[in-house]
């Protein structure tokens, strides 16, 4: 297999091994985009007699969350050792995903 670009967003995470005739293996690919854009890479897998090109595409997104309280500080007040205090906060996903 040809190497994928280092900063292209896609990575192969399992080791490729020779495939005996008539057998299969799984190719595990991760997508970790570094930016909010569309990524497209060609992955070429080859043998002595043939080759296969697979196009990998993905769209990087930027997750956005809203935290309440708005000032992002959660004050538990004075708590003595062995006491129990419970405070509530809310995390809301405000992105499109």
For the stretch 6-48, pLDDT in tens is 888 999 999 888 888 888 888 899 999 988 899 999 999 888 8
The closest of 30, 27, 28, 57 to 41, measured between CA atoms, is 57
Domain boundaries of the chain, sorted by first residue: 10-59
Task: Give the CA distances from residue 69 to residues 62, 77, 87, in Å, rounded to whole numbers and listed in that order.
Answer: 22, 15, 11
Read off the pTM: 0.61
pLDDT tens figures, 37-77: 999 999 998 888 889 999 999 999 888 888 888 887 888 88
């Amino acid at each position: 297999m040809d190497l994928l670009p280092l900063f292209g967003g896609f990575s192969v995470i399992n080791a490729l091994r020779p495939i005996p005739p008539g057998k299969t293996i799984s190719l595990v690919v991760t997508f970790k985009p570094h930016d909010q854009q569309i990524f497209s890479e060609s992955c070429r897998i080859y043998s002595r007699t043939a080759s296969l090109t697979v196009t990998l595409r993905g769209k990087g997104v930027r997750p956005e969350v809203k935290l309440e309280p708005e000032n992002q500080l959660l004050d538990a007040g004075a708590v003595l050792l062995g006491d129990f205090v419970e405070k509530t906060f809310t995390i809301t996903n405000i992105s499109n995903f």
